[in-house]
Amino acid sequence: MNAARTLRERSEAEASRLPPLLARAEHLAGTVLLGDHGRRRSGLGDDFWQYRPAQIGDSRRMIDHRRSARGDQQYVREREWQIAQSIMLWVDQGASMRFASDKSLPTKADRARLLGLATAILLVRGGERVGLTGTTLPPRRGNAQIIRLAQALSEDTEADYAPPEHRAMIPHARAVFISDFLGPLDEVELALTKAADRGVRGVLLQVLDPGEENFPYRGRTIFESVGGTVRHETLKAGDLRERYLARLARRKDDLTRLCRVTGWQLGLNHTGDSAQAALLWLYRALDGGAR
């Protein structure tokens, strides 16, 4: 009895330390009803996959006599082979991601972490191995890995912009990079180039605040980076709008070009839009790109 109470207390204490992010990501993943992961091919396995007409070379024991008895054609019962694949995740934890233009909106960091962890949950449930880029958390399966990811993604860095991690890229794996991608582009280019050289394909998801897209600022405005390293005051913020929007458009064009050259896919999510729609796009982009 005492042992059971001690075990329960330890479990409750451990659960209380889990970041709230995990519960929210579990809920979001649960709203996306996608069925099987889609990487199904015939081979060795326990689950039924399909019937196909018998071919020359098939042994007699492969024939499914019950299905074949329905007509003149003989059929083979094929089983499923789930190919577990490694997916590496990078979520920008730089200070620039902690921006929200309105109190009613989540920060970019909050949205990026939520989508990253929810994607990992769906992939792990599909039998995949998921981890972080770099060497701190290699891809693994299981619920314990989800907890490790939740803990790692709940941390912040002090720098305004956190460059994508490109060490220890697993050859022919898949990757997901989630960021505002407003920092130095050369680091992103280096990471995707190294990934492409190793046969790694993946998805860039750019997360932006609505205020960053439409630049609604007018009159006297003080612009300051979240990390406090950059500060600019102007009396005519509206005069900056056209130049700002042009630079943002160039950055999106650069990201599009980079993804086209390296074989990656580019998506965009605004923090004022649905997280569920973004998760569905991420999951399908990964699945479709793997075939």
pLDDT reported for residue 109: 95
Per-domain residue ranges of the chain: 20-38+83-289, 48-79
pLDDT tens-digit series, residues 6-36: 544 554 444 444 568 888 999 899 887 544 4
- Fold observed for domain 20-38+83-289: Rossmann fold (3.40.50)
pLDDT at 107 over 70: yes
Cα–Cα distance for residue pair 72/197, rounded to 1 Å: 51
Query: Nearest to residue 162, comparing CAs of 226, 103, 244, 107?
Result: 226
Q: In 10 A of CB 257, how many CB atoms?
A: 12
pLDDT at 213 over 70: yes
More confident call, 230 vs 270: 270
pLDDT tens-digit series, residues 164-209: 988 888 888 999 999 999 999 999 999 999 999 999 999 999 999 9
pLDDT at 78 over 90: no
Q: Burial-class residue 203 by CB neighbours within 10 Å (0-12, 13-18, 19+).
A: buried
